[in-house]
Amino acid sequence: MPSLVGTSVAANYLVAAPSTNFSTRQLSIINVAQAAIHTGFAAADSLFSKTVRALQQTAEVYAVGTPNAGNCQFIIATDTQWNGGTAAQQGGVAGNGSFDKLEAAVLAGSGVAATITLVAL
């Protein structure tokens, strides 16, 4: 097959866009705002540990950040906890920006309420 480099057809593969979808499912970076999540986070059965376990039981977690000042970031598979709807788009997955189910799971698993929001790339 002849090379298409240098043609307008080949220019399409040079286009880049913010994404987390590279041979994987679409991923979302979320921020978990939870009072005192950073306090003693390295201790066994800490609030941080309980929150991580609650997230793992509810969403497919790819990465866990280090908590600080009442916040911690996680990377999850978008389709495992994105609540649906049509008001907003996150990486092509329709959603309404709500993580109600995940927030309820964190409250049940850790005993402390959390607010979960998307972090833009």
pLDDT by 10s per residue, the chain, length 121: 566 666 666 666 667 777 777 777 888 899 999 999 989 989 999 999 999 999 999 889 999 999 999 999 999 988 777 555 444 444 444 444 578 888 999 999 999 999 998 888 7
Structural domain range at position 57: 18-118
Alpha-carbon span 32 to 1, nearest angstrom: 50
Residue that the structure tokens 């788009």 belong to: 89
Residue 12 lies in a domain: no
Residue 13 lies in a domain: no
CATH number at residue 98: 3.30.70.100
Residue 5 lies in a domain: no
The pLDDT of residue 89 = 43
Tokens of 3: 């090379």
Residue 110 lies in a domain: yes
Global pTM value: 0.75
Residue 48 lies in a domain: yes
Alpha-carbon span 53 to 106, nearest angstrom: 9
Neighbours of 46 (CB within 10 A): 18
